[in-house]
Amino acid sequence: QGTTITFADYVNTSIGTVTWHTKSDFSDAAITSAKPNATTTYYAKATSGNCAPATASLKVTVDAKPAITLKSAPTICNGTTVTFANYVNTHTGTVTWHTDANCNEAAITSATPSQTTTYYVKATNGVCDPVTSSLKVTVSEKPKLTLKAAPTICNGATIAFPDYVDNNNTIGTVSWYLDEDRTQSAGVTATPSQTTTYYAKAVSGVCDPATAELKVTVNDKPAVPTLSADKTSLIGEDKAV
């Protein structure tokens, strides 16, 4: 579509004067070229002296230019499969997806990337030059939450929640809560007056959060002993007779 054809290029052999027309009765003005937007038949007439003319027709098949528009690029959780057809907004022609920018690798229809990856799409239609585009799939790492051993503290002691996160085995941003539904923030420290369970949540991108809980055992402070009044006994003291 959009290509100009010169009719003389399509004459194999002829005797006489050849003219080209858009009407089959040759009643319109002769033309030498055309740029059709859709499949069109053109008509040729060869004349020589007072002989009856010879005629022929040429059907020019027009392929629509390929085109493709994509939807917004997705962010997924590690382990999620993306189906590329879901990210095509509009297209003209046949669409294929590839892992290389030149679109030479075998076509794929889905992928499960473990890290942020760009995929390449190509639309083709007939003899037209293909068009390409790309889709960057952002991958969030799955969160992981591992806590250290739960503490036992004395009443009145303050604990800092980050001290109980095993950072070597945790992925994501960790928050602490007072309730199991994890809607009431517990902040970063606490001074419980009785044995209390706190609830942690680790989040990473669009992935489902990882959760854990920490039971803080609280021991009462020992009471200060109360002593009775001091009594002194005199041993060997003379007694009155």
For residue 1 the two structure tokens come to: 């579509």
On whether the CB atoms of residues 98 and 122 are closer than 8 A, the answer is yes
Q: What's CA 173's distance to the chain center, in Å?
A: 20
Note the pLDDT of residue 241: 44
**Rounded Cα–Cα distance for residues 51 and 43 (Å):** 19
pLDDT in tens, 113-152: 999 999 999 999 999 999 999 999 999 999 999 999 999 9
Note the pLDDT of residue 221: 87
For residue 18 the two structure tokens come to: 């050849």
Note the pLDDT of residue 46: 97
On whether the CB atoms of residues 68 and 91 are closer than 8 A, the answer is yes
Residue 226 — pLDDT band, cuts 50, 70, 90? confident
Residue 236 — pLDDT band, cuts 50, 70, 90? low
Q: Which residues does 58 contact at the CB level (< 8 Å), separation at least 6?
A: 7, 10, 41, 42, 43, 44
Confidence check: pLDDT of 222 > 90: no
pLDDT in tens, 168-210: 999 999 999 999 999 999 999 999 999 999 999 999 999 999 9
Confidence check: pLDDT of 233 > 80: no
Cβ burial, residue 106 (10 Å; 0-12/13-18/19+): exposed
Q: Per-residue pLDDT averaged across 39-43, rounded? A: 97
pLDDT in tens, 49-106: 999 999 999 999 999 999 999 999 999 999 999 999 999 999 999 999 999 999 999 9
Residue 223 — pLDDT band, cuts 50, 70, 90? confident
Q: Cβ atoms within 10 A of the Cβ of 115, count?
A: 9
Q: What's CA 148's distance to the chain center, in Å?
A: 34
Half-sphere exposure for 108 (CA within 13 Å, toward CB): 16
SS3 133: strand
**Rounded Cα–Cα distance for residues 61 and 41 (Å):** 8
**Rounded Cα–Cα distance for residues 157 and 199 (Å):** 19
